[in-house]
Structure 1
Amino acid sequence: MREILAGAVATFALIPEVIAFSVTAGVDPSVGLYSSFVISVVIALFGGRPAMISAAAGSVALVVAPLVRDHGIQYLFAAGLLAGMFQMLFGFARLSALMRYVSNSVRTGFVNALAVLIFAAQLPHILNAGAIGYAVIAAGLAIIYLVPRLTTRIPAPLICVVVLTALCSALNIAVPRIADLGQLPDGLPMFAWPNVAINLELLNIIFLPALAIAMVGLLESLMTAGVVDDQTGTPSNKDAEARGLGLANVATSLFGGIAGCGMIGQTVSNVKYGGRGRLSTLAAGGILLILMVALKGVVAQVPVAALVAIMIMVSIDTFDWGSLRRLRGTPLLSNLVMLVTVAVTILSHNLSMGVLVGVLMSGVFFAAKVARMQSVRRDGDSYVVEGQIFFASADAFIDAFDPLNHQGPVTIDLSRAQLWDITALAAVEKVRDRFARNGLAVTVVGMNATSGLAVPKVP
């Protein structure tokens, strides 16, 4: 029961976002809702991270919007189908290990930026709510945060939805309802192959969008899986998650849905209210379908303000507030990476862009730090080199040698150094050539075997 109720909370957290993301993508809200049902069911059965909620997502909507605008919805289905195949290939190739290169600073920035974007998505509803709307939102937040002090057997967001819907209907309070957000589904999703001609022109149109969908979806799903790993203290199979997501996107594209990925806000909500297994994910999709089809008339009357209150709670729970307290004790460059990840994500409304910039910054800062871990010590006509020699430290290595202050043969001892790349080898060659131009013979000794590089000894 706990799993089912947690899934129900995730369902109500899904509805407003999925409808909003469908509008962003340029498709009918029913497309996003069908997609969320299909993806939830498939990922519950075949995914690698139990308790994770996957559905139509804003990051994917931003990618596909130009495709839908220029070529139509059938090309969206075709691109989603190809994207799912890419993701399955990614999973079978076991490429999830690449996620280890995403630093904790980037992950924290990803989570915090997403919390801000979730809250920002509610601002249009909040700013246009009016006095009555503000009162309903405030009542919803009061229920969400006060009810757990009385009981935790039923998730507070569910009580919020039921109470506010009954109250607004009984008192005939004039507030926007879910029915005002867009057309809801009229029946079950139907299997249909994308109505496009299969030829090279199709591949030319959908290849890059499909690749973008695949990469953005994988990035967001694997990052979300990592957040759940941390929150629950349990491991997950990231390659299985990639394969499951790919299969889910293939399935949803064949049932008239938009491709999707992991939803961190809804996942955090699911985990918070007791979701730990696959049943909660399955329940989220199943309850969504029941609400949208069998109970469409009832769901249509749910106040948007109730959903806004839930999403405000989700954004608050998603944000890593401890990261603000840790700013003083965390290295400056790590803080900078986290803050830039947040800023780029918010400004671009693109999670993958923020993560990409954060990863690049982390790599540059790490290379700069390692580059300083080298020294060249002179002892007469001999040099002893210690530390790491690679593209970022090669220039400093070259500048450490002075051919003008030697009269006899020179020895360079690299036994305490590590050469990492072709730039390091080129640096050693340049040092040798400098001495040679001054008529000095150079002997390089101690070349480390692990570098895989070889510098010939010069007589």
Structure 2
Amino acid sequence: MNTLSFSRYRAEWFTSFTGARRDVLAGMVGTFALIPEVIAFSFVAGIDPQVGLFASFVIGIVIAFAGGRPAMISGAAGSVALVAAALVHAHGLQYLLAATLLAGVLQIVFGLLKLDVLMRFVSRSVRTGFVNALAILIFSAQVPQMLGVSWHTYAMIALGLAIIYLVPRVTTAIPSPLICIVVLTAISIAFPMPVHVVADLGKLPASLPTFALPNLPFTWDTLTIIAPYAVAMAAVGLLESMMTATVVDDLTETKSDKARESTGLGLANFAAGLFGGIAGCGMVGQTVGNVRYGGRGRLSTLAAGVFLLVVMVPLRPWIAQVPVAALVAIMIMVSISTFSWGSLRDLARHPKVSGVVMLATVVVTVLTHDLSMGVVVGVLLSGVFFAFKVTRLMDVAVDYDEASDTRLYDVTGQVFFASADIFADRFDLADTARNARIDLTRAHLWDITAVGALEDVVSKMRRHDIAVEVIGLNAASATLVDRHAPLLREPAL
């Protein structure tokens, strides 16, 4: 690490006393928001809640030091749990731990190869759809906690929201969600009432995580079982973490090191597997909450992980009494602040294609409850629309030089796999002219499909005894032609 990098890394940890206090308090809020989601997704994955909580503690500690995005909270939740569920149900927990180790290794390799550049293919419309879908999923996840409950729960949620939104008008020294948790917990203890508490969500760990390798034979058969799941877990985890980092980049107007984030997540997941935990990824809701309430540095990430450990063991009896209504109020606030309300106005102002991509990302994500699936669909749609747009920009103008009996074809635009067939159809092979000139001065051949289309056109013209001349190839197009269709460069043309 050079001097400049070290200075930047130090600044990400230590800014000022005020900044450090803000990071610690915001990290504590993130911990409370993390607990119910980790427990819920532990049930989805078919594992004991303490497996998810252990993993979240380990991931939080490691990612604080090794990650590439300060203020980002990662844990054992999200679509990774959906992938893991099938493996647990089919083969058991030990195979999941082995798959977690392998997924971590794959993510480390991904980061070292700097394959994070693939994120450049995720358009702004997809990112907006991702954020909006996340906000909807966060809110919908709170609905079960508001069904079939007493009026006391609704009163507590309303009071919690009032505290969250009104306290900042008086003071911002302590994050209002933290005050919400303390006040609502004190009320529920002082005045017992029929409301759900954290203890009702699942068993909290009573001891610290311990180091242990998966109890499996390290054989080829084991690898063939875990490899498909490990690849899926690694891919889904990376996608959600990269998208989370991008969201924080936009919120804080700063940049993150996506390759380092990938490597850091791999190290964190590998460590989680060694301590009996499931693989995790960036948690957008908790991260947004952390940032909204002042978290900016790595200390907020570390605080979330350390405080989770404190919550899990020494403060376990107290945390078990925190009303779920307080957590619901916090997550409702996070969902409201996460949703990009301006995107609704932009639907009428921006191109319709962008709106379709954004809405498709939202709809697919909400229907599947899989953030990665929504992003994949959005990226694919963006690529298809882009290909159609570029195709329309390709044209072949046809003219005739009577003096030389030559048909002139002036090609403009981009010729690639999506426009190659249209390009080929513009040439009249039944033409009576004895000569043809194809001018590519204002065109570009992007791939071997384009080169193949040009080669087919020239070959067919030759078979019709038409003398063909290809001119105007730029350097990049000429290189493709020389490599894949050298006959097109023959002087006879």
Asked if these proteins are the same fold (TM beyond 0.5), I'd say yes
Report Cα offsets for 1:341-391 as digits up to 9, x if no partner: 111111111111111111111111111101111221223121211111111
Report Cα offsets for 1:272-329 as digits up to 9, x if no partner: 1111100000000111111111011000100111111111111111111111111111
Q: What residue is the counterpart of 2:320 in the other structure? A: 300
Q: What residue is the counterpart of 1:153 in the other structure? A: 173
Which structure 1 residue ranges, 5 or more long, are not aligned?
none
Q: In 2, Cα distance between the equivalents of 1:238 and 1:92? A: 11
Which structure 2 residue ranges, 5 or more long, are not aligned?
1-20, 401-406, 482-487
Report Cα offsets for 1:391-444 as digits up to 9, x if no partner: 111122122222334322111111211011111112112222332343221111
Among residues 464, 468, 472, which one is paired with 1:446 in the alignment?
Answer: 472
Q: In 1, Cα distance between the equivalents of 2:118 and 2:385? A: 18
| Contact 1:55/1:262, CA 8 A, preserved across alignment | yes
Q: What residue is the counterpart of 1:341 in the other structure? A: 361
Report Cα offsets for 1:140-191 as digits up to 9, x if no partner: 1111111111111110100110000100110111211111111100011111
Q: What residue is the counterpart of 2:423 in the other structure? A: 397
Q: What residue is the counterpart of 2:18 in the other structure? A: none
Give secondary structure in 2 for the equivalent of 1:435: helix
Q: In 2, Cα distance between the equivalents of 1:67 and 1:340? A: 29
Q: How does 1:35-434 map to 2 (within 5 A)?
A: 35-380=55-400, 381-434=407-460
State the shift of 1:69 in Å: 0.9
Q: What residue is the counterpart of 1:456 in the other structure? A: 489
Give secondary structure in 1 for the equivalent of 2:442: strand
Q: Partner letter of residue 421 of structure 2?
A: D
Q: Partner letter of residue 456 of structure 1?
A: R
Q: Partner letter of residue 105 of structure 2?
A: M
Q: In 2, Cα distance between the equivalents of 1:43 and 1:453? A: 44
State the shift of 1:96 in Å: 0.6
Q: In 2, Cα distance between the equivalents of 1:64 and 1:407? A: 66
State the shift of 1:245 in Å: 0.4
Give secondary structure in 1 for the equivalent of 2:430: helix
State the shift of 1:219 in Å: 0.5
State the shift of 1:46 in Å: 0.7
Q: Percent of pairs identical after alignment?
A: 63
Are 1:34 and 2:54 matched, yes or no?
Answer: yes
After superposition, the CA RMSD in angstroms is: 1.1
Q: In 2, Cα distance between the equivalents of 1:2 and 1:382? A: 70
| Divergent runs of 4+, >4 A | none
Give secondary structure in 2 for the equivalent of 1:327: helix
Q: In 1, Cα distance between the equivalents of 2:189 and 2:238? A: 42
Q: In 2, Cα distance between the equivalents of 1:219 and 1:271? A: 20
Q: What residue is the counterpart of 1:3 in the other structure? A: 23
Q: What residue is the counterpart of 1:435 in the other structure? A: 461
Q: Partner letter of residue 366 of structure 1?
A: F
Q: Partner letter of residue 26 of structure 2?
A: A
Q: In 2, Cα distance between the equivalents of 1:60 and 1:313? A: 25
State the shift of 1:117 in Å: 1.0
State the shift of 1:453 in Å: 2.4
Q: Which moved more, 1:405-414 or 1:243-252?
A: 405-414
Q: In 1, Cα distance between the equivalents of 2:331 and 2:24? A: 19
| Contact 1:30/1:184, CA 8 A, preserved across alignment | yes
| Contact 1:168/1:174, CA 8 A, preserved across alignment | no
Q: What residue is the counterpart of 2:403 in the other structure? A: none
Aligned pairs, how many? 459
Q: In 2, Cα distance between the equivalents of 1:218 and 1:99? A: 10
Give secondary structure in 1 for the equivalent of 2:347: coil
Give secondary structure in 1 for the equivalent of 2:307: helix
